[in-house]
Each structure stands twice: as C-alpha cells, then as structure tokens.
Amino acid sequence: MKNLLTLIIIGFIMTVSVKAQEVRFSQDLYNTYEQYRENGIQHKRFKRSDIEPLIEKVKRNKFFNVKTLGHSAEGREIDLITAGKGKTKVLLWSQMHGDESTATMALFDIFNFLSASDSLDPFRKELLSRLTLCFIPMLNPDGAERFQRRNALDIDINRDAVRLQSPESVILKGVRDSLKADFGFNLHDQSTRHSAGKSFKVASLSFLAPPVDYERSVNPVRERAMKVIVNMHDRLSAFIPGHMAKYPDDFEPRAFGDNMQRWGTSTILIESGGWHTDYEKQFLRKMNYIGILSSIFSIATGSYDGLSIEDYYKIPDNADFIFDLLLRNLTLNVKDSTFKADLGVNRFEAAAGNKPYFHGLIEDVGDLSTFFGFEDYDCSSMEAFPGKADPTVYKDLDEVKSLNFLELLKKGVTAIRVRKEALKGRYSFFPLNLIGVDENGNPGQPEGEFKPGAPANLVIYQNGTARFAVVNGFIYDLKTMSNNVYNGLILQ
Ligand SMILES: [Zn+2]
C-alpha cells in the first residue's frame, strides 16, 4: 500500500514536472522566436522559386536530409525534408491548397530552430532522439504560383486522396505509405472571419482530429490526435486565449485528413484563420511555429497520452459571427424609406499580378446584434446615404491627385469620374472609387444600395455633418482622416 502511494506520488510529480517543462518550452519559443524566424519569407504570397534558396540552405545543412519526392503537374519540385532519428515518425505537410501558406512560413522557421544550438538544446535533443520528423513544405507549388486553392489541373488535392489523379496526391500518399507515419500534421488556412463558438473572438487557429467514418467514431488513432490537440490548445492558450476553435468534423471520404486517420496515421489538422491587422499572417505564422513545436514535443515525451478527450470536445466549434466592419444602429435612407438597421461589410481579397487589393461588399443588413466586427461602430443617432459620384470629369490621375479628398467625402462623394483612357487596372490608391468615362457619354455612378452583395459605398452623417465615409468597404473617419488604407476601385 505504501509502495503504491509512493508510486502515485512519483507519477504525479513527474506529470507536473513534464507539464511545467512544456509550459516553459512554449514560453521560450515565444520569447526567442525572432532568432529563428526565416527572414527570407516576409509575406504570404511567395512561390516555389522564392523558397528555392531556402531549400538549398537546408540542403547544405548536414543536419537535414533533403530528397525530391517528385514533381507537380507543371514540373515544380516537391521535397521531403527529414530530421531526427527517433522511433516515432511524424509527417507534416503544408500548402496542399496553394493560397494557404501560413504554415509553410512556420516550417522554415522550425528548420532554423531545429538546426540551431543554444540553451534550448535539451528540448531539441528530446525531439530529435525520439522522433523522425518528415516535412513537405508546399505540397501544391502550382497552386502557390497562382495563389489559388487548386492545383494546375484545377483539382482540389484534398478531394483526391482516394482517386489519386494529381501527381501531388500520389506523392503525399506514397510518402505516408512508405513511412507509415505515426502522426500527421495537415496544415491549412481557413477564412479569417470564423469566430470561436459564440464568443466575440476570431478563431485564429482551428483544429480537427478528422473522423474516420460518418458516425464520427473515436478509434485509438483518432483519439491520439485529439489528445495532441488538447495539448496544443493548452499551450497556445497562454498567447491567444479564447481564439481557438474546432473545425467542423463532418466526414469527407475523399479528403486526406480523414483518410490518413483511416490509414493509421494520427492526423492533426491545423487551420490558420484570422487575427485583426495580421493581413500577411505573420503573427499566426508564429503561433503555428509554437503550436507545432509544442505538439511534437508532447509527442516526443508522450505527455499527450495522459490528457482527456473530453477536453477536446470542450474546445468551441468554428462559427460565423464576424464582419470586417460592422456599423450598428444606423438610420438608412433608401429611396423613399427610412429605417434602422445594422450593416455588415466584408472585404474580399483579389489580386492584380502579385499585388492584393480588396472588394468591399455589404454582406448583410438588418438586426446583426448577434455579430461583431473587427471594426465595430455604434452609429446610433447617425444616418447613412449611398455614396454619390462627383459630376466633374477629370482628365487624368494627376488631376485626381491634386483633389481634396476629405472635402469630397464630406460632400457625400465616394466616386469621381475620370477619362477612361487615363485609367489602368482594377484598383487605385485613392480613398475614392474611380469611374471611367468615354467621350460618347457618361455611364454614371450606379445608384448605391444598402443590400447584401452591393458595393459598400456610403456616407454617414451626425447632426447633419458628415462623420464617416465608407469607400469600397474601408471606413474613413472624417474628423481625423486617420484611416490611410486608400483602396478604391476602378470601375470601367
Ligand atoms: Zn485548405
């Protein structure tokens, strides 16, 4: 009896000390991140040719083994980078969807971390002696080239796990089968506007231990993945409390995550979501770095095994309660009617070449009191009118540049007319939309509307004075003109 008690106490102390060690590790990762951050990647729209020199750097480092697994449909290389000699095999693949690049950035930070030598060596030693880590950064280089979800065959690789028609799918399945990986990390990005359950907090990271059948059964393979997620959620709660959720667990028989789990690899899906002002996903890159390293440390020590899957179910589900901009309690003036409503506005990313710009659209109108906005304004006692076009036709952009934008916005103008031949492209760096006009006539500004799907162009008045303007979904404070986004559209 006494011996049993002693064993229980020793077990308890060991559990506590492993946890303390894990907490310290993730905190150290947070504090020292800048030392390891791969500065060769600074924004999310990089391509295979941009990571080529980084892969070369990894190749020169005898610490890693780099092998070309094969080529994408358009002939771009797909590499496997291996580190460590441990018994437990962990396979991590990123950017199966070409426009989901956050984790790829984190993987290059992780390579820098793993090959360094400093006071964190005891953690590295633990990781690399117990695990064999196999990374595929950027599984879909053709999609990354275009910053699009699908590959060059226009196939969604994540619906090709069974039919295996894309070379990228064949490569991933082949690696899984030859390694018989114990754990898999399936690294994606999701919408930046999911919320963590009903909270007014954005889901910055969402996790899933994909199901193995329609009944969402929990077999031992899936159970391990759930426990690793519980550990990751605990560790990251120190940095983004309340900002994590669970991805929907509908079974998708064609997806890689679900099939990996069926094939016997405990698979953890990480979806990078939104973080206000982190448009280039650099903060979420850091959270991926900490989340992945903390998780594999827990796999190395085996600590995840003591966690409860009940805590997995307690993580809130992904939900949709967020707008980029929410204007509450506005009095809207539309044609002959006046009524009170909230306006939810979202901005959708598009690209002209490599440069992103946005289309701001009204997403919803009415009682939106159950939602919240990244930018959230109470407009009680304010009224809104659709934006107008200035009647003058300007010759060129030099004339436009010399205008007093603030004065125009204060007059309720959200668009100006410019000779068509002076306009190029789809967007401008002005806080106004530009309408192209040819010599045959004047197309006029389409009447601004307050309805879902309409462009978000309006001016908001308080006591008869223009207080805010919304142009292409971006809000300008007309007292301070503090917003300097300046992303107007060119309308031809
Ligand atoms: Zn994805």
> In the chain, what are the domain boundaries?
2-319, 322-491
pLDDT of residue 337: 84
User: pLDDT of 92-139, one tens digit each?
Assistant: 999 999 999 999 999 999 999 999 999 999 999 999 999 999 999 999
| Superfamily (CATH) of domain 2-319 | Zn peptidases (3.40.630.10)
Ligand 1 centroid distance, CA of 96 (Å): 7
User: pLDDT of 253-308, one tens digit each?
Assistant: 999 999 999 999 999 999 999 998 898 999 999 999 999 999 999 999 999 999 99
Ligand 1 centroid distance, CA of 438 (Å): 43
Ligand 1 centroid distance, CA of 151 (Å): 12
Ligand 1 centroid distance, CA of 416 (Å): 39
Ligand 1 centroid distance, CA of 439 (Å): 47
Out of 312-321, 365-374, 444-453, least confident range: 444-453
User: pLDDT of 181-215, one tens digit each?
Assistant: 999 999 999 999 999 998 889 999 999 999 999 99
Ligand 1 centroid distance, CA of 101 (Å): 9
The architecture of the domain spanning 322-491 is Roll (2.30)
3 state SS for the chain: CHHHHHHHHHHHHHHHHHHHHHHHHHHHHHHHHHHHCCCCCCCCCCCHHHHHHHHHHHHHCCCCEEEEEEECCCCCEEEEEEECCCCEEEEEEECCCCCCCHHHHHHHHHHHHHCCCCCCHHHHHHHHHHEEEEEECCCCHHHHHHCCCCCCCCCCHHHCCCCCCCHHHHHHHHHHHHHCCCEEEEEEECCCCCEECCCCCECCEEEECCCCCCCCCCCHHHHHHHHHHHHHHHHHCCCCCCCEEECCCCCCCCCHHHHHHHHCCEEEEEEECCCCCCCCCHHHHHHHHHHHHHHHHHHHHCHHHHCCHHHHHHCCEEECCEEEEEEEEEEEEECCEEEEEEEEEEEEEEEECCEEEEEEEEEEEECCCCCEEEEEEECCCEEEEECEEEEEEECCHHHHHCCCHHHHHHCCEEEEEEEHHHCCCCEECCCCEEEEEECCECCCCCCCCCCCCCECCEEEEECCEEEEEEECCEEEECCCCCCCCCCEEEEC
Ligand 1 centroid distance, CA of 162 (Å): 17
Domains 2-319 and 322-491 share a fold: no
Out of 59-68, 180-189, 273-282, 418-427, least confident range: 418-427
